[in-house]
């Protein structure tokens, strides 16, 4: 069946569609209620299973839609879950047509098309959506196959075509078969559209989950190595990292800034442990240029760069890690200085705080690899 939107909400619906094509299908996973690790692991396995089901045509599309609904539930993608509910059961209608929210979901799911008014006296074209469930479309295809078999012309000779009011009717059951085929063709096209909509959604979710899993595995290995080794060198650092995690879980922006301040404190402690402060002045290659720098108590960035340049035999390692030290140290210093001056414009948000924690872990991990005693103890 085909329906148009309620006229009163047409302009509001246009505004909703301005959010971009495929708003439902290609929206990122919900950040309001992030799924837990167990749900993400199950979602990754389920997405791979659904992709195989579709690509190998293993089960009916209705069953695939049900499994995809579970995938969206695992990912807390509530809007896609509601869309799939309508895809499975059909889009509910009211006497005035489709309610605005249901119309929006149907259009975003790719169910709209332009009706040219073939059977309309005024021949006015308008945008409509079809509301049949996936199972209803599958049933149309199945019943058409049976009806076509029943409408086969007999093998025995048939009577000559009849003429009614001067119009010659086609011989046999060709007219019935033609009508049945037209219905089946529309249902098949719509099923293909539903299959592609589900496939594209699952495929994108699968790659998102796979990439996040790879990134998580890489960071987990770095974090495990750092957690095991840094406690030998800086015992208090583990307490600082624990405080960082607690601050990042908070919804208070001040706690996020505190997490960044703790990252800076860890780098200062690390510099004190591997390259104690000195009154000496030396030349260091920083950002590709030789510079005369101080190595005092407050110059922890310079001391870490000096340690890396003294211990590493790889020029590229010295350049890359040295550049990271300078970038991260200078950024952390600017944040702390802004906070001390009461300037809140440059205080980090949670996403930025997350990045600085990851950078700090990676940087500490690189520096610890240059300490044979720590490295050997880890092994």
pLDDT (tens digit per residue) in 70-97: 999 999 999 999 999 999 999 998 888 8
In this structure, is residue 145 part of a structural domain? yes
The more confident residue out of 89 and 346 is 89
pLDDT at 274 over 50: yes
Residue 69: predicted pLDDT: 96
- Same domain for 203 and 56? yes
130 and 6, same structural domain? yes
- The domain total for the chain is 2
- Residue ranges making up the domain that contains 28: 2-153+173-211
pTM value? 0.57
Structure tokens at 303: 């001391």
Same domain, 282 and 373: yes
Same domain, 179 and 36: yes
Instruction: Flag whether pLDDT at 339 surpasses 70.
Output: no
* Mean pLDDT along residues 17-45: 57
Q: Please check whether residues 262 and 177 belong to one and the same domain.
A: no
Same domain, 47 and 146: yes
Using one digit for the tens of pLDDT, what is the confidence trace for 90-139?
999 888 888 999 999 999 999 998 877 655 556 677 888 999 999 999 99
Same domain membership, residue 205 and residue 306: no
Cβ-based neighbours of 34, under 8 Å, separated by 6 or more: 76
Let me know whether 314 and 199 are in one domain: no
Neighbours of 135 (CB within 10 A): 17
Tell me: do 191 and 272 sit in the same domain: no
Is 242 in the same domain as 194?
no
Q: Is the pLDDT of residue 343 over 90?
A: no
If asked whether residues 92 and 197 sit together in one domain, one would say: yes
Higher pLDDT, 322 or 175: 322
Q: What is the pLDDT of residue 105?
A: 94
Domain co-membership, 200 together with 284 = no
pLDDT at 24 (0 to 100): 35
Determine, yes or no, domain membership for 279: yes
- In this prediction, residue 221 carries a pLDDT of 73
Half-sphere exposure (CA, 13 Å, Cβ side) for 136?
Answer: 13
Q: Judge whether 267 lies within some domain.
A: yes
User: Does residue 188 lie in a domain region?
Assistant: yes
Q: Is the dihedral of CA 107, 88, 199, 113 positive or negative?
A: negative
193 within some domain: yes
As a whole number, the mean pLDDT across the chain is 76
Q: Residue 291 CA to chain centroid, in angstroms?
A: 44
pLDDT value, residue 47: 95
pLDDT at 7: 36
In-domain check, residue 220: no
Residues comprising the chain, all counted = 379
> Which of 3-12, 234-243, 362-371 is predicted with the least confidence, judged by mean pLDDT?
3-12
Residue 349 lies inside a defined structural domain of this protein: yes
pLDDT band of residue 363 (cuts 50, 70, 90) is confident
Q: Which two tokens stand for residue 150?
A: 């029943």
Distance (Å, whole) CA 358 – CA 335: 17
- 223 falls within a domain: no
């Amino acid at each position: 069946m085909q329906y148009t939107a309620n006229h009163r909400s047409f302009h509001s619906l246009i505004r909703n569609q301005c959010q971009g094509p495929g708003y439902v299908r290609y929206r990122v996973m919900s950040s309001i209620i992030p799924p837990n690790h167990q749900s993400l692991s199950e979602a990754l396995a389920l997405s791979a299973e659904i992709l195989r089901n579709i690509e190998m045509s293993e089960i009916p599309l209705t069953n695939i839609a049900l499994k995809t609904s579970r995938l969206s539930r695992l990912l807390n993608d509530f809007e896609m879950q509601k869309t799939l509910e309508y895809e499975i059961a059909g889009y509910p209608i009211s006497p005035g047509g489709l309610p605005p929210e249901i119309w929006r979901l149907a259009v975003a799911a790719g169910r709209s098309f332009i009706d040219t008014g073939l059977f309309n006296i005024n021949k006015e074209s308008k945008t409509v959506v079809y509301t049949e469930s996936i199972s209803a479309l599958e049933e149309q295809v199945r019943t058409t196959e049976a009806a076509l078999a029943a409408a086969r012309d007999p093998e025995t000779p048939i009577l000559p075509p009849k003429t009614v009011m001067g119009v010659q009717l086609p011989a046999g059951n060709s007219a019935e078969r033609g009508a049945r085929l037209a219905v089946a063709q529309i249902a098949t096209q719509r099923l293909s559209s539903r299959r592609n909509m589900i496939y594209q959604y699952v495929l994108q979710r699968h790659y998102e989950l796979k990439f996040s899993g790879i990134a998580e595995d890489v960071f987990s290995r770095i974090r495990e190595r750092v957690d095991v080794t840094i406690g030998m060198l800086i015992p208090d650092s583990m307490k600082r990292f624990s405080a960082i995690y607690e601050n990042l879980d908070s919804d208070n922006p001040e706690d996020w800034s505190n997490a960044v301040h703790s990252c800076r404190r860890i780098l200062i402690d690390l510099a004190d442990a591997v390259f104690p402060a000195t009154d000496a002045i030396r030349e260091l290659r920083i950002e590709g240029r030789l510079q005369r720098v101080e190595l005092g108590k407050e110059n922890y960035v310079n001391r870490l760069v000096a340690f890396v340049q003294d211990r590493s035999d790889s020029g590229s390692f010295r350049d890359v890690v040295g550049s990271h030290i300078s970038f991260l140290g200078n950024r952390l210093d600017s944040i702390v200085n802004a906070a001390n001056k009461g300037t809140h414009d440059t205080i980090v948000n949670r996403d930025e705080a997350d990045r600085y924690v990851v950078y700090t872990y990676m940087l500490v991990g690189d520096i610890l690899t240059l300490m044979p005693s720590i490295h050997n103890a880890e092994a």
